[in-house]
Structure 1
Amino acid sequence: MDKQFWHDRWAQNQIGFHQQEVNSYLQQYWPRLQFAHGSSVFVPLCGKSRDMLWLLEQGYKVLGVEISPIAVADFFKENQLQPEVTVANGLERWSCDELVIFCGDLFSLTADDVANCCAIYDRAALIAMPPAMRPIYVETLQTLFPAPLPTLLVTMTYPQQEMDGPPFSVQEAEVQRHYADRYRIKTILNRDILADNPRFQNRGVTAMSEQVYLLQPQPR
């Protein structure tokens, strides 16, 4: 993952990937993870997503990580939250009540940083990674969470040759390859979204769909 690419996108306000509304898949499918309110949810590459506010409103704690200081500062400012900012292991830690966002590189996190997390919400991380980085990302999650956590994973597929990512196309076979050893994988949605995304049509994409996966830890 090119860190400078993301710094530049935020600096130039080229953030078409940012959703102004809470993700409908999160609202519809999150209850299927069936874990207790008050638990902490890990949100990798969280940006300034309003999904974190929704999780907080449902009674969960949220721990995000985001490389762009602009995104982190904007999140707190736009939502009128007053953060306490400290430094831990070289990462800025922005916290407010039940919310913590680490401002820095996901790959610099340690297991201690995320020790209290009980689930993962990945709407924007896996599809932000180029193919060579995705195995490293999954291995990092395995290091951070030796015991796999229930995960809601959102991906997309399209003819990769028709557009340079991010977002990148991630086929179901790749999801199986990365996660099947540790998870029972259930596809709970496969939806054609091309008509809803003219910006991708304008870039020459001829087919596009979104997938939502429920990843439940394999029984030991």
Structure 2
Amino acid sequence: MQSEFWLQCWQQQRIGFHQQDIHPLLPVVFSQLNWQPSGAIFAPLSGKSLDLWWLSQHGKVLGAELAELACQQFYQEQTQSFVVTTQGQHQRFSHPAVDIWQGDYFDLKPEQLGDIGLIYDRAALIALPLPMRIDYVNQLKRLCPGPVSLLLLSLEYPHQQMSGPPFSVTECEVRQLFDFAASVELLAIRNLTGRAFAQRQFNVSYLIEKAYWICW
């Protein structure tokens, strides 16, 4: 998935992947975790997700988003003011609770993020085809060398029944991608078969969402 694909989605407002409410698993999973805030919260490929506002209750949130329009809408739709500065290859949208680095995720540098204690991935990994998923995880390691925890929401369906995005990423693949981690724990499973995923309905025989807690 090249950058132009996602930029075109935002320009044409083809954003069926955008969830119009806070993800239902987010508060449930957080209530189960004995997690103490340490460092900022990083949300890669964040779009204009309302989850970032919810997460800001637990610490400073840093998003990373390719599309400038998504960043603008993120603040404007909540009538929040923001300041934009250019820093290297990125623009930084600044706000007391949530900042967003606008630009290519793969060009981000660790010093731009600082100390990250939690990573939140709602739909970043599943937005990418396999070669890019490997690069995505490698970049995540560079940006967040640890100690850090990742709350990952992934999706499984028969891959021959639909071409992504979103892509099907099995539990086996998740464990392979994060084989360097100290722990990979499956926290929750949500059966979405026959139901909507964000704003879309998929014609697949099963659709399963899984939440993982990964620490390294």
Instruction: Give the alignment's TM-score, normalised by structure 1.
Output: 0.92
How far is 1:36 from its partner? Answer: 2.3
Give CA-to-partner distance per residue, 1:176-210, whole Å, 9 cap, x none.
10113223011111222022128434xx3121110
8 Å CA contact 1:33, 1:151 repeated in 2: no
Is the partner of 1:20 in helix, strand or coil? coil
Q: 1:67 to 1:3 in 2, by over 3 A?
A: same
1:167-182 matches, within 5 Å, as 167-182=166-181
Code of the aligned partner of 2:35 = Q
Give the aligned partner of residue 122 of structure 1: 121
Which residue of structure 2 aligns with residue 3 of structure 1? 3
Q: Per the alignment, in what secondary structure is the counterpart of residue 102 of structure 1? A: strand
Give the Cα–Cα distance (whole angstroms) in 2 for the partners of residues 138 and 36 of structure 1: 22
CA contact (8 A) 2:195 2:201 kept: no
Asked if structure 2 preserves the Cα contact closer than 8 Å seen for 1:159 and 1:207, the reply is yes
- 1:142 and 1:148 in contact (8 A); partners too: no
Q: Is the 8 A contact 1:148 1:183 kept in 2?
A: no
Distance in 2, Cα, partners of 1:95 & 1:184:
33
Deviation at 1:138, TM superposition (A): 0.5
Q: Does the aligned pair in 1 maintain the 2:44–2:64 contact within 8 Å?
A: yes
8 Å CA contact 2:37, 2:117 repeated in 1: no
**Is contact 1:33-1:150 (8 Å) kept?**
no
Spell out, residue by residue over 1:7-36, the C-alpha distance to the aligned partner (whole angstroms, 9 max, x if none).
Answer: 111111111111111111111112415022
Q: 1:155 — aligned with what? A: 154
Cα distance change on mapping 1:33 and 1:93 into 2, 3 Å: farther
User: What fraction of aligned residue pairs are identical, expressed as a percent?
Assistant: 36
1:190 correspondence with 2:182:
no
1:60-83 deviation per Cα after TM superposition (whole angstroms, max 9, x unaligned):
110000001111010111011111
Question: Given residue 27 of structure 1, which amino acid in structure 2 is its aligned partner?
Answer: P
- Do residues 88 (structure 1) and 50 (structure 2) align? no
Letter in 1 for 2:20: Q
Moved more, 143-152 or 93-102: 143-152
Q: Runs in 1 of length 4+ with deviation above 3 angstroms?
A: 198-201
Q: Aligned pair in 2 of structure 1 residues 148, 36: CA closer, same or farther (>3 Å)?
A: closer
Count of aligned positions: 213
User: Could you list the runs of 5+ residues in structure 2 that have no partner in the other structure?
Assistant: none
SS in 1 for 2:112: coil
Instruction: Check the 8 A contact 1:111/1:143 in 2, yes or no.
Output: yes
RMSD: 1.5
CA deviation string 1:75-125 (max 9, x = no partner): 111011111110112100000113210111100100101112211000111
